[in-house]
Amino acid sequence: MADCDHNCESCGVEGCESRIEKAVLNDRSHIKRIVAVLSGKGGVGKSFVASLLATSLSRKGYKVGIMDADVTGPSIPKSFGVKGPCEGEDGIIYPIESKTGIKIMSANLLLDNEDDPIVWRGPLLGNLVRQFYENVLWEELDYLVIDMPPGTGDVALTIFQMLPVDDLIIVTSPQDLVSLIVKKALKMAEMMNIHVLGVVENMSYVLCPDCGKKIPVFGDSHIDEFAKQMNFKVLGKLPIISSNTKLVDQGKVEAVNLEEINDLTKAIIGK
């Protein structure tokens, strides 16, 4: 509806498409906190940041799961070097565990051939994400990290209405487009009453191998000034490191050691 404020708890309109039934965990699972990682557009490293965050939390001794809600562009299994198909019984799906014990669920882990496309419309994608939450045996998790689909479209809206997301992290890059894209994501979070923990700027710079100088290959960052203007926190600025890219391509994201991700992890733990 044109005058919808997206506050479904107070909505009294019958048949409103925004009235999404809340997802309910199975009685064999318990999740303490859900952290969603969103980007206003694709190609900024959202899945990379989500993977690093899950890995960092796991290294600190927390029980962690990661849900790949980017159903039509799933990349989490490849980053962690895991393959399906998943098994299950009696309506319960067993997630695949990574080398370090992170529980992973992704559309790619349900396919016989991981390169088969999922060509579905929004409602079907939303229903699959619901199954990822309700039917997966997450057991006891301290943190569930959700790798959101890019943008602020129908599937992201459904997830925010359906799942009890505690915190949102927005990933961006240092391009002129940043203010517009981040502003859209922030406004969406505000409309949906989702707490924004802050913004991570990925691909912020390259370190010169000779002098150690930070080289802004995508231009000077304006994220700090924009953060003051829009009143959000900058949780980190991540460099481009080719060896890390290689590790991710090899399915070894858990071997990536990026000091800058620690501030992001501290922000989550310290909340």
Cis amide leading into 174 (omega within 30): no
In 3-state terms, what secondary structure has residue 241?
coil
Mean pLDDT rounded to a whole number for the chain: 86
Cα 234 to chain centroid distance, Å, stands at 17
Q: What is the pTM of this model?
A: 0.88
Q: What is the pLDDT of residue 162?
A: 93
* Residue 108 and residue 74 in contact, taking contact as beta carbons nearer than 8 Å: yes
pLDDT in tens, 180-214: 778 888 888 888 899 999 999 999 889 888 888 88
| Structural contact between residues 151 and 188, judged by C-beta atoms closer than 8 angstroms | no
> In 3D, which of 106, 155, 99 has the Cα closest to residue 126?
155
Using the structure block, give the residue that is written with the tokens 């309109």: 13
> For residue 146, how many other CB atoms are within 10 A of its CB?
24
Q: How much is the average pLDDT of 239-257? A: 93
